[in-house]
């Protein structure tokens, strides 16, 4: 099942997701992969678009490109659609739709963008990414951008918080790490593109350094603080921590992040590839047999 792990319809979470979108676009992945010529792109799909930050930025930056965002939450989509109306963006559109089984015809888009959605897919991952591949035009680009979700820091309590969050995700069946030490999501990106039969596959790694004294770090620190609220709900729900201990960890983590000697880095990976002009129709299972 590809359910979101927390309540994406809360104002706090929608605000956090919009801020996260802007941060990622500016500091990590950009709007388009470096090798993609905007003049060759006419129709774009953003799967699991949330409140629509990436869609709006794409539409603003490239007025000749039509950008569609889909999400399962009608409340989130209503919010996103209201924002494009305020911005008077006629080339941005949102639809309530499950990205596991989309209503679009085959070969509808020149670019399919999937950002920070892989980590909450589970046993049906192959079928889901094949659905994204289905609506991609021959020669079109499929792009994944993901992180391990847990930053590397020199804060003991921050690390404790990370371990408990990953344990909660593991209990939900949302990790692939054999030892439960990480989610393992970024390991999947290139192999998935290869197994789909994509060509010209490229990868880029990015980091966001939010150590003490780094410029622009406050936006990320605030994202972490808000994200801990979401993570905390999941950790309590999955019984990996009690509310009292969680509150202590979160308060100490906030204190540590503002300490002069704090170090923290979060890694991201983007991977993308082109759909062949002629597909051989091979399946993932074929490639593993």
Per-residue pLDDT of 130-189, as tens digits, reads: 999 999 999 999 999 998 888 999 999 999 999 999 999 889 888 888 888 888 889 999
Pairing of strands 43-47, 109-115: parallel
Q: How confident is the model at residue 279 (pLDDT cuts 50, 70, 90)?
A: low
* Candidate from 13-17, 58-62, 230-234 with smallest mean pLDDT: 13-17
- Looking at per-residue confidence, does 273 or 20 come out higher? 273
Is the model's pTM score more than 0.85? Answer: yes
Percent of the chain with pLDDT over 90: 61
Tokens 């091979």 belong to which residue?
Answer: 282
Cα separation, 90 vs 198, whole angstroms: 32
| Total residues belonging to the chain | 289
Task: Give 237 or 226, the one with higher predicted confidence.
Answer: 237
Domains, in order of start, for the chain: 11-275 (3.40.50.150)
14, 44, 100, 234 from 7: Cα distances, Å: 9, 27, 19, 10
Q: Residue 288 — very low, low, confident or very high, per pLDDT cuts 50/70/90?
A: very low
pLDDT at 238: 94
Task: Tell how strand 92-96 and strand 264-274 pair up.
Answer: unpaired
CA of 41: how far to CAs of 58, 81, 108, 191, 273, in Å?
11, 22, 12, 25, 14
Residue 258 has pLDDT above 70, yes or no: yes
- Region 252-275: mean pLDDT is 95
| CA 10 to chain CA mean position, Å | 18
**pLDDT-derived band at 3, boundaries 50, 70, 90:** low
Cα separation, 275 vs 197, whole angstroms = 7
What are 212-224's pLDDT values in tens digits? 999 989 888 988 8
């Amino acid at each position: 099942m590809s359910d979101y792990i927390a309540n994406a319809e809360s104002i706090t979470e929608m605000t956090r997701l919009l801020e996260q979108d802007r941060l990622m676009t500016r500091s990590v992945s950009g709007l388009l992969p470096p090798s993609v010529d905007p003049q060759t792109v006419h129709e774009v799909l953003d799967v699991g678009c949330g409140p629509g930050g990436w869609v709006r930025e794409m539409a603003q930056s490239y007025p000749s490109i039509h950008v569609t965002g889909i999400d399962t939450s009608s409340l989130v989509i209503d919010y996103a659609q209201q924002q494009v109306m305020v911005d008077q963006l006629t080339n941005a559109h949102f639809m309530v739709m499950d990205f596991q089984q989309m209503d679009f015809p085959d070969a509808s888009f020149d670019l399919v963008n999937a950002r920070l959605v892989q980590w909450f897919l589970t046993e049906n991952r192959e079928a889901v990414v094949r659905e994204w591949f289905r609506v991609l035009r021959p020669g079109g680009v499929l792009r994944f951008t993901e992180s391990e979700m847990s930053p590397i820091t020199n804060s003991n309590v921050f690390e404790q918080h990370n371990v408990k969050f990953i344990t909660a995700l593991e209990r939900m069946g949302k990790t692939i790490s054999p030892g439960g030490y990480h989610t393992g999501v970024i390991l999947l990106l290139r192999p998935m593109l290869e197994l789909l039969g994509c060509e010209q596959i490229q990868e880029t790694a990015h980091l966001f350094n939010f150590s003490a004294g780094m410029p622009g770090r406050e936006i990320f620190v605030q994202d972490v603080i808000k994200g801990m609220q979401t993570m905390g709900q999941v950790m309590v729900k999955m019984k990996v921590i009690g509310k009292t201990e969680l509150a202590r960890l979160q308060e100490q983590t906030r204190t540590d992040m503002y300490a002069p000697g704090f170090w923290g880095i979060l890694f991201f990976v983007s991977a993308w590839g082109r759909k062949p002009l002629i597909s051989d129709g091979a399946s993932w299972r074929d490639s593993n047999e």
